[in-house]
Amino acid sequence: MEPRPRKIRPPEADSFSIQYLKSLPKAELHLHLEGSVTPSGLRNLSKKYGTEYSALSEEELERQLFRYEDFYSFLETYRIVCEHLREPTDYVKVLDGLGEYFTQENIRYAEIIYTPSIPWKYERDGKDILQALLERSQQIQSTQGTLIRWILDCVRQFGPEWARRTAELAEEFRDQGVVAVGLGGDEKSLEMKEYQEIFSWARAHRLYIHVHAGEIGDAQQVWDALLILGANRIGHGIQAARDSKLMDYLRQHAIGLDVCLTSNLMTGAWKPISDNPFGLLFQRGVPVSLNTDDPGLFQTSLSEEFQKAVQFFELTQEEVHRIVLQGIRSSFLPHDEKMAFMKRFQEEIRQLSA
């Protein structure tokens, strides 16, 4: 049985504006670098490499590729985008766009997901790309102030050997900005037990574990992520709302869910937004943060995600502030850095509220 949504509050009833939401200091924890490519970015890449999409306008690209019938048509667009990311400079340009986005959205901390097995599949150098991204993320921090950390994602349908190589790369750059190993892709492909040994190795090498689960799969996928892979945080996890024991477990163990409202809508994982279980999860005390997932492919921003949450789930200003702070609490930052961010965020929020 689907959880009942909270009553929708009309936008004019909101006690604070989109500008206020933009002004809040924020963290974003679920952000795919490859999914940050916009229609304009894909068009430019297509022109650079002379592919079939170069003659299309941005509007035509948006209509043909950036609208999705279901999760699998979204994956097809994701594949097309990744085919066009061929050199380290292509990835760095996408990161530069995110740097501008972080400034516009007042995002002070971001955990960006990069999938090295995708360039490896195309016989490109995923390690060189990572090194270029780490170097540029340090420059963004020094010039713009946003601290960036990296999650190296394994594609579930690719198989364990690619995941092992990803985990080894993450361990090599653990002290240079990589904080976690993730598992993404198609939940309905390989079972998580196929990856148990690899993720156990990653945990033993002091890497956090981030797992996409309970997006298009059922609540058992979340249990498997927790009990088989030892997940420290769950990407999406919305299907947990169907299992009261699971919600209690997440709350009691302070395991965060990266909720992505627009993403769930556009892939058909859960729609409409007014029915998304985010509201129930939040009410039950499950640690939830708001995120864009793939801001280029879904044409959204973090402040827009907050605005939708306010509109559809009757969030008060205090509740918005709690969700903002949860973005830091659920992060993979060391304790001291986390507490420093919390203190700064709380003080800025207090000044803005005054």
Q: What is the pLDDT of residue 20?
A: 96
Distances (CA, A) of 337 to 113, 329, 343: 20, 11, 10
Predicted local distance difference test score (pLDDT) of residue 192: 97
**Model confidence band, residue 354 (pLDDT cutoffs 50, 70, 90):** confident
Asked if residue 66 belongs to a domain, the reply is no
Q: Quickly state the pLDDT bin for 6 (edges 50, 70, 90).
A: very low
Q: pLDDT digit string (tens) for 28-71? A: 999 999 999 999 999 999 999 999 999 999 999 999 999 999 99
The set of residues, in sequence order, having a beta carbon less than 8 Å from that of 321 and lying 6+ positions away, is 24, 349, 353
Secondary structure class of 114 (helix, strand, coil): strand
Query: Considering the domain boundaries, does residue 4 fall inside one?
Result: no
CB-based contact 152:114 (threshold 8 Å)? yes
Which three-class secondary structure string do you get for 277-333? Answer: CHHHHHHCCCCEEECCECHHHHCCCHHHHHHHHHHHHCCCHHHHHHHHHHHHHCCCC
Cα–Cα distance, 214 to 228 (Å, whole number): 15
% of the chain surpassing 70 pLDDT: 95
Would you state the torsion angle of the CA atoms of residues 68, 74, 78, 83, taken in this order, to the nearest 10 degrees? Answer: -80
Task: Please compute the mean of the pLDDT values over residues 165-181 and round it to a whole number.
Answer: 98
Residue 221: inside a domain: yes
Q: What distance in Å separates the CA atoms of residue 345 and residue 308, rounded to the nearest whole number?
A: 22
Across 178-260, the runs of DSSP E, i.e. the strands, are: 178-184, 208-213, 233-236, 256-259
Q: Does 178 fall in a domain? A: yes
Fill in the DSSP letter of residue 185. Answer: S
| Confidence tier at 164 by pLDDT (50, 70, 90) | very high
Q: What is the pLDDT of residue 183?
A: 98
- pLDDT tens-digit readout, 313-331: 999 999 999 999 999 999 9
Q: Which among 339, 318, 267, 305 has a CA at the least distance from the CA of 78?
A: 267
Token digits for 14?
């909101």
In a domain, 277, yes or no: yes
- The model carries a pTM of 0.95
Residue whose C-alpha is closest to residue 324's, from 114, 11, 84, 26:
26
Q: CA nearest 240: which of 221, 258, 227, 254? A: 221
pLDDT score of 197 more than 70: yes
Residue 89 lies in a domain: yes
CATH number at residue 263: 3.20.20.140
Do the domain assignments include residue 322?
A: yes
Whether 153 shows a pLDDT value over 60: the answer reads: yes
- Residue whose pair of structure tokens reads 């965060």 in the numeric block: 256
**Residue 11, pLDDT above cutoff 60:** no
Residue-number span of the structural domain to which 250 is assigned: 11-37+85-353
- For 136-145, write each residue's pLDDT tens digit: 999 999 999 9
Cα-trace Rg, the chain: 19
Percent of the chain with pLDDT strictly greater than 90? 94
Tokens encoding 262: 């627009």
Task: Give every CB contact of residue 188 below 8 A, 6+ residues apart in sequence.
Answer: 216, 217
Instruction: Tell me the CB-side half-sphere exposure of residue 194, using CA atoms within 13 A.
Output: 16
Our count of domains for the chain comes to 1
Tokens of 48: 């650079």
1, pLDDT greater than 90 = no
Position 348 in a domain: yes
What is the tens place of the pLDDT at every residue in 258-286? 999 999 999 999 999 999 999 999 999 99
Question: Does position 9 have pLDDT exceeding 90, yes or no?
Answer: no
> Residue 182: helix, strand or coil by DSSP?
strand
Rounded to the nearest integer, the mean pLDDT of the chain is: 95
Alpha helices in 66-179 (DSSP H): 71-83, 88-105, 117-121, 126-144, 160-172
pLDDT, tens digit, 9 for 90 and up, residues 224-246? 999 999 999 999 999 999 999 99
Tokens representing residue 171 in the block:
């361990």
Q: pLDDT band for 14, please (50, 70, 90 cuts).
A: very low
Say whether 103 sits in a helix, a strand or coil: helix
